[in-house]
Structure 1
Amino acid sequence: MQRIKNYINGEFCTPSSDKWLDNYNPAKGEVYSQLPNSQKEDVEKAVMAAKKAFPAWSATSLEERSQWMHKIADAIENKLVLLAEAESKDNGKPLSLALAVDIPRAMSNFRFYANALTQFASEAHESVGKNTINFTLRKPLGVVGCISPWNLPLYLFSWKIAPALAAGNCVVAKPSEVTPMTSYLLSEICKEIDFPEGVLNIVHGLGANCGQAIVEHPQIKAISFTGGTKTGEHIARTAAPMFKKLSLELGGKNPNLIFADCNYDKMLKTTVKSSFANQGQICLCGSRIFVEEKIYDQFKDDFVKAVKKLKVGDPSDAKSDLGALVSKEHLEKVQGYIEGAKDQEATILCGGKPVKVDGHENGYYLEPTIIEVKSNHCKLNQEEIFGPVVTMMPFKSEEQALEFANDVRYGLSSTIWTSNIDRAMRLSNSIEAGIVWVNTWLNRDLRTPFGGSKDSGVGREGGFEALKFFTEPKNICISYEAY
């Protein structure tokens, strides 16, 4: 059985405790590899390596750093199929999705920041009449920590480490212990291209041990974390006394507002995708669907028919629309919400049952599920389920739709379907969310800021926002008055 290792100071290392964690293939429900159960000592080793490497890495020219980033992107592109197969096996997602989205996006993240770092300019302000000029230097922070989730493993891992490295920092990164394989393959890529030692360090393990050691380490100046809201709260409490910079991209319970004047066919097709892509395990999925009364019954019928056609199956099968959920524990959590629907006076319109896939009988498969609810205040509409489960209910007016959209603790993203541009602008301005899509979904531009409000987190990633996060601004004022 394969044992993946930590990547510290350019070398592969076994955990100091010599303890290992099982890594499951969710499509089969079987252990297929092991990863380090790293402890505080392993994180300390990684931090010291990063600290030692920082002076040289931060002093490299923008062009040299850019070239290194392009080398990583090139290697990811050359290993597209290998990485996609590993991602599908590790996560349970359809191979077709990993080939089309996850791995190409990881490559794009490195390419984008390879170019963005050469365009990241400082500001200058001349004080007329005072013969002074103020300008801003942006300096890398030093050693930073990046902790990524399991739903889009390499995609979101690279989303964090690429801007951190581009800005001149050295990184101690922890991928999810549930999906470690592609981050390990990335460390192999770094080894193959002779990436500078100590600049990127990847430590595997549990959040309670490895992740906690990263968050509380006094030499780590910033934490970029994507994951659950409760974990984000803990990180914020831990980091606050040390005044660390924090970027926390947390949970979502995203509203999908559908008005009668929308492009119906486009809306229906996109809503099926936005509800169940990646088994609903995307923080941006539209998990609360609100439909204007006059088309509610039509939409309900058409939506249920379309969802029933989705195939749940072997992730390696190109015909599979949904693969396996990421773990047995997560499957049981999602099933718990479905089983509680009756207690909330909700009606399961379709799905809700486990699926047995031929040859993968022990896999963690679940039917895509639509639940009709009567109240926006029910548990199904207020808590993040993070699986192939959506709720739906009607609304009477634009004002009620807005009330439903905002009456939740989260504020990550939202979707509006309407042909009325005035309504689109009014709602976009009033919805409490970091991202609003109008007549589209998951249409991302890497230059734009990404993040949420309320319990969906603090800070922004993406574009120059990420480079700003991973640098510290310093104002310099020079007088050029002749003496």
Structure 2
Amino acid sequence: MSLSDTPNPLVVENFIGGSFVKSSKYLDSFDPSTGEVWAQIPDSDPTEVDDAVQHARNAFPMWSKTTAAERAKILIKIADSIEENLDKLAQAESKDQGKPVSLAKRMDIPRAALNFRAFAESICHHLNISNCIPEMGCMNYTVRNPVGVAALISPWNLPLYLLTFKIAPALASGYFILPLPLFIILMLFSNYNYIEIGNCVVCKPSEITSVTAWMLCKLIKDAGLPNGVLNMVFGTGSKAGEALINHQGVNVISFTGSTNVGRHIGQVAAKSIKKVSLELGGKNAGIIFEDADLSKVVPATINSCFLNQGEICLCTSRVFVQRTIFDEFVQRLVKETKNLKVGPPIEDVFMGPLVSQVHLEKVRSYVEIARKDGARILCGESVDELSLPAPYQKGYFIRPTIITDLSDSSACMQEEIFGPVVCLSPFDSEEEVIERVNNVKYGLCSAIWGQKGDRLLRVAHQLHVGTVWINCWLVRSLDMPFGGMKESGIGREGTSHSLELYTEETTICYKFQ
């Protein structure tokens, strides 16, 4: 189907073996801004999952004979096509997820294109490790071969952004580059065929936000990706997802989502010793020292707490502020937060609706927990009313909410809320704030603000998280490892680190005769 075709409701199809395939059963997908059904998503069953895995396995021998340069060319064409369809993809992402169209144009869709382009370029530059042992007359080198079929399961908060962060390295990964002396020997004196190889994939996006993944399939097909290399099955985690992670034809699983689901996937993968990467929840902290420049820190904190409705795993949900500036910081943060525009995502707003009614009720429940725990709600839910025009009165809207006067043991300080709710707390000493930041089961990221470089680095080195930002937030280089500690996940992703997941490394020792 063309991207320009927009029936009401939109009917999404599975993408299996290079063809769009209708399903026998569908799920309703709701526009978060109105609460109305706008799309129907396949409710895929194990039979459809098996069909997708078999097509991926059948495509693997052919895909394994393509060079890195050939793979890169296709991935770059996909990136170009995403950029050419920026407006359509951004509008669909907004209608599906609730994020402002302006944010999708600025962040989600450009990053999806960047994911394909970055991994396409990086795969051509990775070299194998090699060394010589002259006294033994041997040369050692390593090769990385693709694992096979990768199951890619992505979440609803950054649908296309995070799905492409899995697809691009999985398709690109795998190379076979010999040390030059051995390469020359084999070329001259043997019938050895030089090959480079990549994985095939079966993707299962969130059933809440599936439309842009379906649109991506059309772009991928037009870019010339061979049939069966990429397959997309839509549906619930309990049915389609469960069938996918348990399928014996799947060799590696990459999952981004909740810690509870990730724990289950880890247990399933362990039974058959499948490789697995789990990017899970977070309870991320911001630390603001008394020498921080509040004119920069306050707007940056607003972004880190409330961007994308707070529905980013890297969002800050606890902010610890040195006591000497606590009152001033709170006053300025509340004032600027109250001025944020919340409304229909098609307009020039800072925040759109949350992704679903169920999620809205979950976020509201944490605000109620805070109230029962004796907290002060300084702005937001149940404090500032929202007045929206038709047809948005039934949308899943909530104002950004700021809470203070909570103990560190409160559920709001310990559990992932995943919405536009932040808890503020004062601290006195460096040692105290390090202990309090680390006193949660998660370890995804933190942000530190101040001017004393030695203190900033000293604190950063003691935080039990995968990423620490100093005087910034959400500055991401794909060349750096991304992932979490503790219950925030297992594994790291990036242009080089994703190779660990999607390939198996073999050491070869060649003794010259």
What TM-score do the two structures reach when normalised by structure 2? 0.92
State the alpha-carbon separation in 2 of the partners of residues 474 and 93 from structure 1.
44
State the alpha-carbon separation in 2 of the partners of residues 220 and 416 from structure 1.
41
Aligned to 1:59: 65
- 1:466 pairs, out of 488, 494, 498, with 498
Q: Which runs of 4+ in 1 moved over 6 A?
A: none
State the alpha-carbon separation in 2 of the partners of residues 256 and 362 from structure 1.
33
Contact persistence 2:74–2:224 (CA under 8 A):
no
Contact persistence 2:18–2:226 (CA under 8 A):
yes
- 2:270 pairs, out of 240, 254, 267, with 240
Aligned to 1:260: 290
Aligned to 1:369: 401
Contact persistence 1:356–1:365 (CA under 8 A):
no
- 1:350 pairs, out of 367, 379, 382, with 379
- Unaligned residue ranges in structure 1 (runs of 5+): none
After TM superposition, list the pairs within 5 Å mapping 1:248-327 onto structure 2: 248-318=278-348, 320-327=349-356
What amino acid is the match of 2:423?
Answer: T
Deviation at 1:191, TM superposition (A): 2.6
After TM superposition, list the pairs within 5 Å mapping 1:190-205 onto structure 2: 190-205=220-235
Contact persistence 2:132–2:138 (CA under 8 A):
yes
**Other structure's SS at 1:440 match:** coil
Deviation at 1:379, TM superposition (A): 0.6
1:116 and 2:145 aligned: no
- Larger CA deviation: 386-395 vs 334-343: 334-343
Contact persistence 1:144–1:164 (CA under 8 A):
yes
- 1:45 pairs, out of 34, 39, 51, with 51
- 1:103 pairs, out of 102, 109, 124, with 109
1:379 and 2:397 aligned: no
Deviation at 1:356, TM superposition (A): 4.1
State the alpha-carbon separation in 1 of the partners of residues 269 and 239 from structure 2.
15
Give % identity: 47
Q: CA offsets, 1:273-324, max 9 Å, x none? A: 1010000000001110000000000001011001000011110102x11000
**Other structure's SS at 1:22 match:** strand
Deviation at 1:121, TM superposition (A): 1.3
Deviation at 1:184, TM superposition (A): 0.4
Contact persistence 1:38–1:206 (CA under 8 A):
yes
Q: CA offsets, 1:23-76, max 9 Å, x none? A: 110011100110100010001000000000001112101110010101101110
1:170 and 2:233 aligned: no
- 2:98 pairs, out of 81, 92, 98, with 92
Q: CA offsets, 1:347-373, max 9 Å, x none? A: 111111363421211100001000103
The alignment's C-alpha RMSD in Å is 0.9
1:148 and 2:154 aligned: yes
- 2:360 pairs, out of 331, 340, 344, with 331
1:398 and 2:427 aligned: no
Aligned to 1:409: 441
State the alpha-carbon separation in 1 of the partners of residues 11 and 510 from structure 2.
56
Contact persistence 1:259–1:291 (CA under 8 A):
yes
Aligned to 2:258: 228
- Larger CA deviation: 346-355 vs 424-433: 346-355
**Other structure's SS at 1:393 match:** strand
State the alpha-carbon separation in 1 of the partners of residues 136 and 220 from structure 2.
51
Deviation at 1:133, TM superposition (A): 1.3
What amino acid is the match of 1:304?
Answer: V
State the alpha-carbon separation in 2 of the partners of residues 127 and 356 from structure 1.
75
